[in-house]
Amino acid sequence: MENVKLAVVFYSMGGTNYQMAQWAAEAGKAAGAEVKLLKVEELAPQSTVESNPGWAATANVTKDVPVATSEDMTWADAIIFSTPTRFGNVASQMKQFLDRQGGIWATGGTVNKVVSAMTSAQNPHGGQEATLLSLYTSMMHWGAIIAAPGYTDPVVFGAGGNPYGTSVTVDQEGKMVEDVRGAVEHQAKRTVQVAEWVKRGTAE
């Protein structure tokens, strides 16, 4: 059986979700997956991005990361999304990307994709769980298989104990409050493992 194809798709304004996506991509590769690290398209005007030093720095450091496409979603056996929280929902940039997948959805191209998600917010009760749940609602419409981390490893508790997906609080200086790297790596490995089971099952 060929290796699982994993797409790690992120949107990042301050760099947090880019870092989490990088950790997930590295862990996916370590688990034996073929991995694509992808960003969604920026919707904000360039002048707005450039007026915020942190946002501009993130845009610069991610400028060579490929933009995710429907072809990438078709290619992938598994997808890990990472997006900041916006009023208890996914960032508009990520939402637009999801909304634009209607073409592959209509032809069954999203069915049985194994998916998982991560997020960040500026306080621990700023909608982190709601953001993941709202994204998973879209995944149910896709006919995807959600591979949430649950409490499948003690590392989840050390990262704050979110069973829906890794979430992290970011302070006013843009630094992560919790140590979530281990939780991200576990989540990525679990996503690849579940995708292996699905891939093997559909091949038989």
- pLDDT, tens digit (0-9, with 9 covering 90-100), for 78-132: 999 999 999 999 999 999 999 999 999 999 999 999 999 999 998 888 899 999 9
What are 34's strand-pairing partners?
Answer: 5
Q: What angle do CA 165, 201, 150 make, to 5 degrees?
A: 20
Q: Give the model's confidence band at 173: pLDDT under 50 very low, under 70 low, under 90 confident, else very high.
A: confident
The encoded tokens of residue 187 equal 């989540």
Coil, strand or helix at 170: strand
The encoded tokens of residue 136 equal 């998973």
Inform me whether the pLDDT recorded for 201 exceeds 90: no
The mean pLDDT value of the chain amounts to 95
Cα–Cα distance list, 94 to 68, 154, 175 (Å): 10, 30, 22
The 10s digit of each residue's pLDDT in 19-36 is 999 999 999 999 999 999
The 10s digit of each residue's pLDDT in 34-86 is 999 999 999 999 999 999 999 999 999 999 999 999 999 999 999 999 999 99
Question: In the chain, what are the domains?
Answer: 5-203 (3.40.50.360)
Coil, strand or helix at 10: strand
For residue 204, the model assigns a pLDDT of: 65
**Rounded distance between C-alpha atoms, residue 139 and residue 117, angstroms:** 10
C-alpha torsion sign, points 127, 14, 29, 182: negative
